[in-house]
A and B are shown apart, each in its own frame.
Chain A
Amino acid sequence: MNAQELLRLADDELILGWRNSEWTGIAPFLEEDVAFSSIAQTEIGHARAWYELAANELETDADSLAFDREPDEYLCAPLVEMRMADDWARTIARHWLYETADRIRIQVLLNSVDRKVAGLAEKIDREETYHRIHAEMWAERLRDEPKFRDAVDELWPYALGVLPEEQRSLFCEAVERDESEAIERSGHTEGLRPLWEEMTMVRRSVPGASW
């Protein structure tokens, strides 16, 4: 598996984890705050693991890949870049769509010829069990909320764009939706640059320092 593909996975998890961590401290109620924070942490942890694999190939380290690239160099999908920290319906819609998509691509990676990739995919798959339970639990609970249904409709084209074309029909089956025009990874949303600026401001303040 090449470094670009690894970075795509890592960047998705990093940016989504970063977005999800915006809810820490302000989630709808305290019990959920703790649970959702764990999900954000697990995503960052998975990002780190993918970065470490890519770093071996690129002869650098995980933090440099995570923080020292320019915004245009990130390979994350537009879905994960969007800011939803004031909208729980959209947050859960994204969470549910992303977890379902992620599961499909992880299943494929379990069979990777690269042993390290397959091994990491297996570990990630195990941890993600709880993410899926959590996402399903909320999707079920919010099923009848118009805000949630509208959000899923709105985010569906973005969610499709998370996966490579050949995996999209499986995704459609899993969420019982018809395939539509996907919003591909080619560009970034305008949300990414301000996110990147905030994410890297301390690191850039003393370049090359240990923190």
Chain B
Amino acid sequence: MGAARGARRRGVIWEVFRQEREGQPFQHGGSLEAPNLVFAEAYAREFYGRRGESFALWIVPRESVEEVREPYVAEVFDRDYRRVDGYSLKVKLKEARERAGTSPAG
């Protein structure tokens, strides 16, 4: 979006997020140009809903959207405690079952 922000704007650019079905996350659908929210809503409905393909829409002026790329830059120290692969339970579980006498046969 960086290139666009510098360009001369006539109307306002609105980003449209759509919910495919009830309960699902809102996903970016596209953008459109409209003078104000009333027009933007009318157009968003047309572009992202005229086939009944969206359950709901969010309409946001582009300048209200802040983009964050690469949220965590350069993870230097391993933070495996935050991930599933940071836990290795197989050996400990085997030992615990043996002590309790509940190991599976064989």
Check A-B contact in the complex, CB < 8 A: yes
- Interface hits, B23-42 → A, CB 8 Å: 32-35, 38-39, 42
Could you tell me if A137 and B42 are in contact, using CB atoms closer than 8 angstroms? yes
Give chain B's interface secondary structure class: helix
The CA of A53 and the CA of B89, in the complex, are separated in Å by: 72
Could you tell me if A31 and B50 are in contact, using CB atoms closer than 8 angstroms? no
The CA of A35 and the CA of B50, in the complex, are separated in Å by: 9
The CA of A44 and the CA of B67, in the complex, are separated in Å by: 43
The answer, yes or no, to whether B43 is at the interface (CB within 8 Å) is yes
CB contacts (< 8 Å) of A38 on chain B: these are 46, 50
Could you tell me if A34 and B46 are in contact, using CB atoms closer than 8 angstroms? yes
The CA of A141 and the CA of B47, in the complex, are separated in Å by: 21
Could you tell me if B45 and A130 are in contact, using CB atoms closer than 8 angstroms? yes
| CB closest residue in chain B, given A34 | B46
**When A38-B50, A137-B38 are in contact, do A31 and B45 touch as well, CB less than 8 Å?**
no
Picked from A35, A133, A141, the residue with its CB within 8 Å of the CB of B35 is A141
Report A24-54 CB contacts with B as 1/0, cut-off 8 Å: 0000010110110010000000000000000
Interface size on A, residues (CB 8 A): 11
The answer, yes or no, to whether A94 is at the interface (CB within 8 Å) is no
Could you tell me if A35 and B38 are in contact, using CB atoms closer than 8 angstroms? no
| CB closest residue in chain B, given A136 | B38
The CA of A34 and the CA of B50, in the complex, are separated in Å by: 10
Could you tell me if A35 and B46 are in contact, using CB atoms closer than 8 angstroms? yes
The CA of A34 and the CA of B46, in the complex, are separated in Å by: 7
**When A38-B50, A130-B45 are in contact, do A31 and B38 touch as well, CB less than 8 Å?**
no
Chain A min CB distance to B11 (Å): 8
Report A1-44 CB contacts with B as 1/0, cut-off 8 Å: 00000000000000000000000000001011011001000000
Report A117-133 CB contacts with B as 1/0, cut-off 8 Å: 00000000000001001
Could you tell me if B33 and A34 are in contact, using CB atoms closer than 8 angstroms? no
Could you tell me if B35 and A31 are in contact, using CB atoms closer than 8 angstroms? no
Could you tell me if B45 and A34 are in contact, using CB atoms closer than 8 angstroms? no
Picked from B35, B39, B47, the residue with its CB within 8 Å of the CB of A34 is B47
Interface positions of B (Cβ within 8 A of A): 32-35, 38-39, 42-43, 45-47, 50
Interface positions of A (Cβ within 8 A of B): 29, 31-32, 34-35, 38, 130, 133-134, 137, 141
Sorted nearest first, the 7 A-B pairs with minimum C-beta distance are: A31-B43, A35-B46, A34-B46, A137-B38, A31-B32, A35-B42, A38-B46
